[in-house]
Amino acid sequence: MHRRTSPWGPLRGLALASAGVLALTSCGGSLGDEDDGGGDGGETLVIGYVTPQTGALAPFGEADAFVVDQMTDYFAENPVELGGTSYDVEIVVKDTQSDSRRAGEVAGELINDDGADLILAASTPDTVNPVADQCEANGVPCITTVAPWQPFFFGRGGTEDEAFDWTYHFFWGLEDVEAVYQDMWGQVTTNQQVGALWPNDPDGNAWSGDFPTAVEPNGYTITDPGLYENGTQDFSAQIAAFQGAGAQILAGVPIPPDFATFWQQAQQQGFRPVIATVAKAILFPSAVEAIGPSADGLSTEVWWSPQHPFTSSLTDQSAQELADAFEEETGQQWTQPIGFVHALFEVAVAALDEAGSTDPQAVADALAGLQVSTIVGDLDWTSGPVPNVAKTPLVGGQWRATEGGDHPFDLVIVSNSEAPDIPAAGTVEPLG
């Protein structure tokens, strides 16, 4: 790993609020095992981690306990060495309860009460944006992931001429998911009529504005009945609009419980598209199992899987080995966030190593030009597409019901046009 000077120019100066290095007596949050860090009287490096562990977005946090326990064990055996000083690592976990306001509040707690040297956050713009905003305002380095880069960057007011000073992100973008979805749509025969299920939240606002511009020039027609509120219990209006347009394709970015409600009502009201590509809601085995047999054939983007050909820079585990370790320890099916939560800690260690200290400005400067190979791929903050962002590869997958397998459904990679190094294991099959 190494760092080059960022092509985005010097960072803007904000008043620096020093995050002191101190040991915690309690790690807070809801995971319970995170406070095993240094007790030998040495220096302690405090890493805050913010994620939705309860509430509607809780499936995004299903891998948290496993990864935090793994990293706690790793740091116990591998203290961080910076400038000749050995640091024990404390991981302080905070639960957003799937609430964006609470996400900002707990980030403030990490900064003001827990003395976090570095803050990590994951899972949807509802989490990463308010956490990043708190860190930007307080001069604390922050690394985020698991949200398309456009709502992270543009949704927070970023421009190519006005980069953020303290907040850095890695994930794919809407341009990637649009390409993957269209590749999956092109594998089945449809009338190219697309029903769009967009919620009134940061994801829905970003997708609804960008998606038509990307797909309509390729012959697709979007039927958009308008943004709906998260927690909606009656999707009859949306279903009627899709049926009226004869939509044979469904696209959307709902939260898991809302899509379960929509899909049940769609089945009851006779809306059965040829292909349904749904972001966010059906990324996770638990969410798919909650839908039941009608989930067979639903498709989604795949950010990480055991088949991804990448290796951890910390533990030397392959993606397959990391997924196997999760299944063995938890008894649960692997889930996509495993890789990205693990990668957050890889990036944190790489940035600290490059900075050579816990000095906030040094860590932020290191992040601005960081290049590191991780369990989710090669990350490079010097190559854009905008300041503060490094991109990750994306493929597409389809859930297939299994007979006599270890789990009710398997996620099969069926589209790798955007990332041919990640092997596909099949092609798209039409629903029903």
Per-residue pLDDT tens over the stretch 133-164: 999 999 999 999 999 999 999 999 999 888 99
- What phi, psi does 49 have (nearest 5°)? -135, 120
Alpha-carbon distance of 200 to 328, in angstroms, equals: 38
CB-side exposure of 145: number of CA atoms within 13 Å?
Answer: 27
Per-residue pLDDT tens over the stretch 51-106: 999 999 999 999 999 999 999 999 999 999 999 999 999 999 999 999 999 999 99
pLDDT of residue 20: 29
16: left (phi over 0), alpha (psi -120 to 50) or beta: beta
CB 152 within 8 A of CB 121: no
Sheet of strand 167-170: strand arrangement = 80-82, 85-95, 43-51, 118-122, 142-145, 167-170, 389-390
Alpha-carbon distance of 119 to 132, in angstroms, equals: 9
Alpha-carbon distance of 419 to 432, in angstroms, equals: 28
- What phi, psi does 122 have (nearest 5°)? -145, 150
Residue 151 sits at the vertex; the CA angle it makes with 145 and 155, to the nearest 5 degrees, is: 125
Alpha-carbon distance of 115 to 215, in angstroms, equals: 46
pLDDT of residue 14: 26
- What phi, psi does 149 have (nearest 5°)? -70, -25
* Residue 223 burial (C-beta neighbours within 10 Å; 0-12, 13-18, 19+): middle
Instruction: Write out the two tokens for 318.
Output: 């392959």
pTM exceeds 0.75, yes or no:
yes
pLDDT grade for 24, boundaries at 50, 70 and 90: very low
Q: What's the mean per-residue pLDDT of the chain?
A: 91
Helix (H) or strand (E) holding 288: helix 285-291
Per-residue pLDDT tens over the stretch 310-339: 999 999 999 999 999 999 999 999 999 999
Domains of the chain: 2-172+306-390 (3.40.50.2300), 175-302+394-415 (3.40.50.2300)
CB 151 within 8 A of CB 129: yes
